Amino acid sequence: MATTMDKGATPQNPDKPLGLTVLGATGSIGLSTLDVVARHPERYRVIALTAYRDVEGMLRLCRAHQPQIAVLVDSDAAERLSQALRAEALAIEVLTGAEALVRVAGLDAVDYVMSAIVGAAGLAPSLEAARCGKRVLLANKEALVMSGALFMEQVRKHAALLLPIDSEHNAIFQCMPPGFITGESPAGVRRILLTASGGPFRNMPLDQFAQVTPEQACAHPNWDMGRKISVDSATMMNKGLEVIEACWLFGLPVDQVQVVLHPQSVIHSLVDYQDGSVLAQLGNPDMRTPIAHALAWPERIDSGVQPLDLFAVGRLDFSAPDPKRFPCLELAYAAWRQGGTAPAVLNAANEVAVQAFLEGKLSFDRIAPVIEASLAGCSIQAGDDLQQILDADQSARLVACEQIAIKPRRVML
Ligand code: NAD
Ligand code: MG
């Protein structure tokens, strides 16, 4: 059997820094990644940074990290970035368009790709990184939810190394038996316990859900994250997507993945072995820990995260999630059980509903019904080729927009 140590594109050569592309560099995960990377200039060299259209944010990152290439998907923003870089005499190539994301994920000079674009837009470049046999540091869970079978096939076929960044999955990976590779079924594991904070509305009376504002939904009690994943955490669709992500990464049936509410977010997840041992990974809720773990694996490097103070934490609580409060979690389990393109439909409908909520066009309590109606209104295909998955994504977006009575927007995949 191959082990993780045999896999390609993972040189740990201290004489030559490893080339890195950060997809979604201006976001929460992108910035945390660059914070860790900046602590280890002898190990990592930034080759390419990408973002959607944040010119100022990208300019700051270009000054600090001097990449060879900067991508802004929006062409007007890319033009403004070019001018600003010229004015500062910074010799950085600027590319634009969704195809540029794919290009910088597969460059020869790139050893590692941090996949931290939010949503389905991250699918094509993440797949390209796998196809090119890179070390893929996967934060973009939506890519795996949409196309898990295809994605894992590309990883295996091209000897890429897939390491999870999602804190729960990174924790589980750390608790897996020695030699475990993502995508294979681990020996001796009874179940995975996926922890969830329960988000900001864990105790809010259900009759107040209709009045929840985007600001309330984005104010996560423990984690500082982008807006989409913050809303997903509030509905617990985030945990639903993570259940699907866990099934792909750890090769286990869904019945062996159990969600546990743990409001302190100190235990990032657990693995329950057949002999009764339960291994957990703990730490402060700071994404720089899983990022540093995946960058340096199998070594360990400083991440800048404060040591965990268990006396300050004091106690750890656990409970079961209430399906009435978190219907999105049940929808995700149902989509996984249905299989084929159902998870892609779930993901796309959720993206549309969350965006509409953030723009004040849909109330918080309508997010789950829109997703449910989209799953019911789309025909589910086997999903074994990329086109079927992309078609499922597009038709789910149309159905979800009809449900909300808004005009569909084109998403470049
Ligand atoms: P964010 O909103 O802070 O950043 C998203 C990044 O993606 C930005 O750089 C943005 O410019 C870019 N982007 C957005 N739309 C794009 C498009 N259409 N094309 C190209 N680029 C685009 O998001 P985040 O919180 O950093 O999350 C990124 C991913 O990581 C998500 O998939 C999320 O689920 C996952 N994740 C995040 C956290 C966290 O703590 N933030 C934890 C676990 C997993
Ligand atoms: Mg997570």
Phi, then psi, of 279 in degrees rounded to 5? -100, 135
Ligand 1: which residue has its CA nearest to atom 18? 121
User: In the chain, how many H helices and how many E strands?
Assistant: 16, 11
Would residue 217 count as lying in a domain?
no
Distance 140 CA to ligand 1 centre (A): 7
Domain count, the chain: 1
Residue 201 covered by a domain? no
pLDDT of residue 412: 64
Q: What range defines the domain where residue 69 resides? A: 18-165
Give the closest residue (by CA) to ligand 1 atom 21.
52
**CB-CB contact of 197 with 292 (8 Å):** no
pLDDT in tens for each of the 413 residues of the chain? 344 444 444 555 557 899 999 999 999 999 999 999 999 999 999 999 999 999 999 999 999 999 999 999 999 999 999 999 999 999 999 999 999 999 999 999 999 999 999 999 999 999 999 999 999 999 999 999 999 999 999 999 999 999 999 999 999 999 999 999 999 999 999 999 999 999 999 999 999 999 999 999 999 999 899 999 999 999 999 999 999 999 999 999 999 999 999 999 999 999 999 999 999 999 999 999 999 999 999 999 999 999 999 999 999 999 999 999 999 999 999 999 999 999 999 999 999 999 999 999 999 999 999 999 999 999 999 998 999 999 999 999 999 999 999 988 877 66
β pairing state of 69-72 and 93-96? parallel
Residue 357 CA to residue 128 CA, distance in Å, equals: 31
Quote the CA–CA distance of 27 and 279 in Å, as a whole number: 31
Residue 65: inside a domain: yes
Instruction: DSSP letter for 176, please.
Output: S
Distance (angstroms) between ligand 1 centre and the Cα of 31 equals: 10
Q: Relative to the alpha carbon of 230, which ligand is closest?
A: 1
Cβ-Cβ contacts under 8 Å for 266 (sequence gap 6 or more): 282, 283, 284, 285, 308, 313, 316
Tell how far the Cα of 91 is from the centroid of ligand 2, in angstroms.
37
Instruction: Give the pTM.
Output: 0.96
Nearest Cα neighbor of 321 from 136, 196, 185 is 196
212 contacts 362 by C-beta, under 8 angstroms? no
Query: Residue 147: inside a domain, yes or no?
Result: yes
Nearest CA to ligand 1 atom 30: 139
* Closest C-alpha to 259, from 285, 229, 239: 239
Q: Residue 216 corresponds to which tokens in the numbers above? A: 């309330």
Residues with CB under 6 A from ligand 1: 24-30, 51-52, 54, 73, 116-118, 121, 139-142, 166, 223, 225-226, 228-229, 287
How far apart are the CA of 315 and the centre of ligand 1, in A?
32
State how far the Cα of 35 lies from the Cα of 183, in Å rounded to an integer.
29
For residue 107, the domain's CATH number is: 3.40.50.720
DSSP string, 401-413: HHHHT--------
| Collapsed DSSP state (helix, strand, coil) of residue 281 | strand
Query: At residue 356, what are phi and psi to the nearest 5 degrees?
Result: -65, -40
Q: Is residue 47 part of a domain?
A: yes
Name the helix (H) or strand (E) containing 41: none
What pLDDT is recorded for position 106?
98
DSSP summary character for residue 306: P
Contact 349, 372 (CB under 8 A): no
Backbone φ and ψ for 150, nearest 5 degrees, come out as -65, -45
**Does residue 135 lie within any of the structural domains?**
yes
- From CA 195, how far away is CA 214, in angstroms rounded? 24
In a domain, 28, yes or no: yes
* H/E element, 64: helix 55-65
Q: How far apart are CA 386 and CA 245, in angstroms?
A: 18
